[in-house]
Structure 1
């Protein structure tokens, strides 16, 4: 704090063209090398306000630094070591394995079933009696590829992953995002 008081006392008393206090260091007469007594000067109340503004700014910066440090500390305290997590009662592995198996089946057969180049799987949903997958295929290639015509197809599979049927849901141009908004 004493340093801020010293800095404002050592700062030029003249006002710049935009009405701000000159930021150059003052010489013995209270002005910098560019200003003198003929220039407009900062009043005592303005000097006090400037000092108070500087102190408030320093305090705000210090508070922000303290909050950052506290947030980092909290994040470090909340971090969980993966080896500490008990996964013995998690039975999701079977569901994931089932979805992955359906995905592999759909990826390998969708192009053949639909008769177009396979582009991607956008959805896999379990049903009571099997699975439902939504895939995208390139129905017509174009240059540039943003003009490709993409078909979205629904493929139904039984519980064993055998394809039961399919149908086209819709078609869109690859670069057309308005269809999904």
Structure 2
């Protein structure tokens, strides 16, 4: 029975990051999506940007706020998410809201 526990311990410890280590960009993206989804109660559509910072990671995550028909008229929101180096969510803030069909222009309209 103890022999059965040992392999599990070895497998799980190999997945753990050392304290203070920065997660990869892919892990940071997954972490931002999972944690924001849990807080908002809706699944994010995508991560539109991700950048490392001295304090960890910052990401912009796109979320459907109001589903409409046709789908191109659905209301979207861009959330700015701050993660620590290990991928734990520290803060988030809703930025702009827009319709799914809206295209950004150079003049900011």
TM over 0.5: yes
Question: What secondary structure, in the 3-state scheme, does the structure 2 residue paired with 1:159 have?
Answer: coil
Asked which structure has the greater CA Rg, the reply is 1
Q: Which has the higher strand share?
A: 2
CA distance in 1: counterparts of 2:90 and 2:38, whole angstroms: 14
Q: Is the 8 A contact 2:81 2:91 kept in 1?
A: yes
Greater length-normalized contact order (CA 8 Å, ≥ 6 residues apart): 2
2:87 aligns with: 161
Question: What secondary structure, in the 3-state scheme, does the structure 2 residue paired with 1:150 have?
Answer: strand
2:77 aligns with: 151
* Unaligned segments of structure 1, at least 5 residues: 1-94
TM-score, normalised to structure 1, is: 0.44
Deviation at 1:115, TM superposition (A): 3.3
Q: Which has the higher helix share?
A: 1
* Unaligned segments of structure 2, at least 5 residues: 1-21
Q: CA RMSD in A?
A: 1.6
Question: What secondary structure, in the 3-state scheme, does the structure 2 residue paired with 1:143 have?
Answer: coil
